[in-house]
Chains A and B, each alone.
Chain A
Amino acid sequence: PHAGPVESKNEATMSELVPEPRQKPVVPMKPMGINASLLGYIGIDTIIEQMRKKTMKTGFDFNIMVVGQSGLGKSTLVNTLFKSQVSRKSSGWNREEKIPKTVEIKAIGHVIEEGGVKMKLTVIDTPGFGDQINNENCWEPIEKYINEQYEKFLKEEVNIARKKRIPDTRVHCCLYFISPTGHSLRPLDLEFMKHLSKVVNIIPVIAKADTMTLEEKTEFKQRVRKELEVNGIEFYPQKEFDEDLEDKTENDKIRQESMPFAVVGSDKEYQVNGKRVLGRKTPWGIIEVENLSHCEFALLRDFVIRTHLQDLKEVTHNIHYETYRAKRLNDNGGLPPMTVETEENHESNL
């Protein structure tokens, strides 16, 4: 049975869970070796403001991939995450279209702005994944696409006269949707995550979490965590990339308690207690997407967007990309790669 009807919650708790004003992130005080004592104000700390201004001026790219069988609510979730119609389904595609015979990769770019910060968001959809009769190696086109983006970046980087800002199409984050069977992970899930956790940041999410009760949810999450650990799958945030103790404690908590996030997505609004909230209406109540006692969508959103967005990009750039580059150069005898254009399985849509 579901949790009790939502209407009994009071408004104060609701506003707590959906904070509106921008929180100031905690800036770490790192006492490193100082061998110069400052006797007066110099103004070095103005560099913080300069960096902030520069970031806002240049804007940034973010590329998120969603992988999972059809019908798990991927498009809805992405729309809910970015509070706009960013999914492929919303850009003029027929919802009733046929499931493709092979895995296709479809990338759609959007420009969104908030608080003076401009973001070019690219959502990469993978229709056809896991939907065939024979799903062996269905992860291969996806790995190929990810490597192609690394390749593109590498070629730009290696140019003699290169652009000031190399366009970044690398996949920063891959949301993998786990079917809420309630039992355990499927072989397909394990295969995919085993292969791709080495090339991209994978964040596993449990889709359509409103099909499970609280106890079922907790047990399922525990089992999934155990299975991931037993199979040696390092999902984001990876343990080995924790930079310091502070990161480690913060990320440990997320890794061991919150992940995988059990989410529910919706782009429809309903009136609850005088407030308009995103939710799903059922005969037995309204499931509020951003209510932490209903599902963990807010946790996922805060994690991916509000706290770890920059870190996702940095891990992709400093670790996954560098690994690809090193391997590529080594295979080529220490030389940068040749130009090989592959446009198959890659479509860019308006």
Chain B
Amino acid sequence: QNDGCRTLSLSARVGFDSLPDQVVRKSIKHGFCFNVLCIGETGIGKSALMSSLFNTNFEDSPSTHFLSSVRLRAQTCELQESNVLLKLTVVKTVGFGDQMNKADSYQPIVDYIDAQFEAYLEEELKVIRSLFSCHDSRIHVCLYFISPTGRSLKTIDLLTMRSLDSKVNIIPIIGKADSISKTELQEFKKKIMSELISNGIQIYQFPTDDETVSEINTITNGHLPFAVVGSMEKVKIGNKMVRARQYPWGIVKVENESHCDTVKLRRMLCTNMEDLREKTRSYYESYRRCRLEKLGCRDIGPENKPVSLQEVIEAKRLEFFLEMERKEEEIKQRFVQRANEKAAMLEEAEQQASMPVLTKFEHLTLMHQEEELKLGEKKKLLEDEIAQFIEKKAVTELIQSQVSVSTPVVSLKTQGLQKVSADA
């Protein structure tokens, strides 16, 4: 570890042992953030437990059992104790375990956790980034609420925990533990732990390598899963207001360690907060590695020479660029083709549209002319007839006048002839 450095001894006090204090001072100025994910069925007491753990009000409007899919709801609040500022985010599942078909219940949760990792990775890959001032939204611990059936784990519990154990620190807890008797509780805890082990599910182990906490942590590891009780209400006991649940047969005090493990859980969360954050960072590193490898990036190339991220991204970028060019060319060609087609269509339509108009006009003119001719002919015929008639009339009048002059003595007979010739 010293890789070529000699170890020197100091002849007098230098003062760099104040470095941890300097680090602490900076961290306090910056504030801490801690993100908790609560997974549990509707009504199992997630909000009540969070309120009890952190002594604040995480009240949420109680959700219905009729949501069609699992969703996640996040709430943030700032807690301050002496001079430590903690930005606490509690993410709860909504509608978990309510659906008829629960096969996909765990997916939204996995997606949420991955989304937080993705957001952090994105920020880390940016050119201009603000990692030290940006809010870390990665989930540091997942509290999994087990139903207090007293029997064993449900299939959905195993399914969900298995899908999450490589992405987040899981601490299994038994919700509404005041409904189980003490003896049943011991059996239940043993059963759960053996089921978890036999199914190969990795839960969070409190660290035992540091001597100061190893003893406590080993004992605590034996208390898993924690049987918790939470309460939003306070009951007056003596002259103090205490968080408790009041039953006709007695009062369950949330902060009493012989009643439930809530205080143990709180203590363990707080004293191992930094370790939880540390382990979250290593989960993030695996996520990052998988993600980048999926993009085709590797640290070692085909000839076992180190390949930098750049070469891979450069190759991919070139590929993408060429693809884009090709597509652009394709689109251009198609556009030109269609434009030509459309132009041809328009021309044709234009021609067709203009032709009937002309022909119609000509047609009408022709018709008009024809009719004029016909009428002209008819007119001529009529005129001829009129002319003939006048001629005939003139001839008849001439004959009449001649006849009246040539026969003066005319009997009735002649009158009758006159009449007849007049009639003729």
Query: In the complex, A111 Cα to B5 Cα: how many Å?
Result: 6
- Among B37-45, B49-57, B326-334, B384-392, the one that faces the other chain is B49-57
Chain B hits for A1, CB < 8 A? none
Interface on A for B, CB 8 Å cutoff? 20, 22-30, 32-48, 50-56, 60, 62, 81-86, 91, 109-117, 119-120, 155, 158-162, 164, 243-244, 278, 301-302, 305-311, 314, 318, 322, 325-326, 329-330, 332, 334-339, 348, 350
Output the nearest chain A residue to B29 by Cβ-Cβ distance: A28
A335-B273 in contact (CB<8A): no
Measured CB to CB, the closest approach of chain B to A160, in angstroms, equals: 5
Query: In the complex, A332 Cα to B5 Cα: how many Å?
Result: 36
B239 at the interface (CB under 8 A from A): no
Output the nearest chain B residue to A328 by Cβ-Cβ distance: B127
Other A-B pairs beyond A36-B79, A50-B275, A119-B19, 14, CB < 8 Å: A22-B17, A25-B22, A27-B25, A33-B78, A36-B54, A50-B272, A55-B19, A60-B19, A84-B10, A85-B8, A110-B6, A155-B308, A336-B309, A350-B6
Contact of B289 among A23, A48, A160, A310 (CB under 8 A): A160
Which residues of B2-25 have CB atoms within 8 Å of chain A's CB atoms? 2-25
Measured CB to CB, the closest approach of chain A to B226, in angstroms, equals: 15
B12-A83 in contact (CB<8A): yes
B9-A329 in contact (CB<8A): no
A38-B85 in contact (CB<8A): no
B363 at the interface (CB under 8 A from A): no
Query: In the complex, A30 Cα to B271 Cα: how many Å?
Result: 23
Measured CB to CB, the closest approach of chain A to B123, in angstroms, equals: 12
B84-A32 in contact (CB<8A): no
Query: In the complex, A293 Cα to B272 Cα: how many Å?
Result: 48
Query: In the complex, A160 Cα to B296 Cα: how many Å?
Result: 11
Chain B hits for A52, CB < 8 A? 20-21, 23-24
B21-A29 in contact (CB<8A): no
B310-A336 in contact (CB<8A): yes
Query: In the complex, A159 Cα to B288 Cα: how many Å?
Result: 10
B28-A40 in contact (CB<8A): no
Chain B hits for A116, CB < 8 A? 17
B2-A47 in contact (CB<8A): no
Given known contacts A28-B29, A32-B31, A110-B7, A117 and B19 CB-to-CB distance under 8 angstroms: yes
Given known contacts A306-B15, A326-B127, A314 and B26 CB-to-CB distance under 8 angstroms: yes
Chain B hits for A109, CB < 8 A? 3-5
**Interface membership of chain B positions 201-221, coded 1 if the CB is closer than 8 angstroms to chain A and 0 otherwise:** 000000000100000000000
**Interface membership of chain B positions 88-103, coded 1 if the CB is closer than 8 angstroms to chain A and 0 otherwise:** 0000000000000000
Chain B hits for A83, CB < 8 A? 10-14
A35-B4 in contact (CB<8A): no
B343 at the interface (CB under 8 A from A): no
A111-B2 in contact (CB<8A): yes
A318-B132 in contact (CB<8A): yes
B314-A335 in contact (CB<8A): yes
B274 at the interface (CB under 8 A from A): yes
Jot down 9 A-B pairs with beta carbons below 8 A, ordered by A: A27-B24, A38-B55, A42-B266, A48-B27, A48-B28, A109-B4, A114-B10, A305-B15, A330-B127
B309-A158 in contact (CB<8A): yes
Measured CB to CB, the closest approach of chain A to B59, in angstroms, equals: 12
Given known contacts A83-B11, A335-B309, A44 and B81 CB-to-CB distance under 8 angstroms: yes
B interface, size bucket? 35 or more
Query: In the complex, A311 Cα to B282 Cα: how many Å?
Result: 26
Output the nearest chain B residue to A120 by Cβ-Cβ distance: B5
Query: In the complex, A313 Cα to B26 Cα: how many Å?
Result: 12
Query: In the complex, A120 Cα to B7 Cα: how many Å?
Result: 9
Measured CB to CB, the closest approach of chain B to A150, in angstroms, equals: 15
B227 at the interface (CB under 8 A from A): no
Chain A hits for B275, CB < 8 A? 50
Query: In the complex, A39 Cα to B5 Cα: how many Å?
Result: 52
Most chain A CB inside 10 Å of its own CB: which residue of B9, B21, B85: B21
B128 at the interface (CB under 8 A from A): yes
Measured CB to CB, the closest approach of chain B to A133, in angstroms, equals: 35
Chain A hits for B4, CB < 8 A? 109, 348, 350
Output the nearest chain A residue to B282 by Cβ-Cβ distance: A164
Contact of B54 among A33, A42, A337 (CB under 8 A): A42
Query: In the complex, A35 Cα to B32 Cα: how many Å?
Result: 16
Query: In the complex, A249 Cα to B15 Cα: how many Å?
Result: 23
B80 at the interface (CB under 8 A from A): yes
B55-A48 in contact (CB<8A): no
Q: Which 10 residue pairs of A and B lie closest in terms of their CB atoms, listed nearest first?
A: A115-B17, A43-B270, A310-B22, A36-B56, A50-B274, A109-B5, A306-B15, A84-B8, A55-B20, A52-B20
Chain A hits for B15, CB < 8 A? 114, 301-302, 305-306
B8-A111 in contact (CB<8A): yes
B311 at the interface (CB under 8 A from A): yes
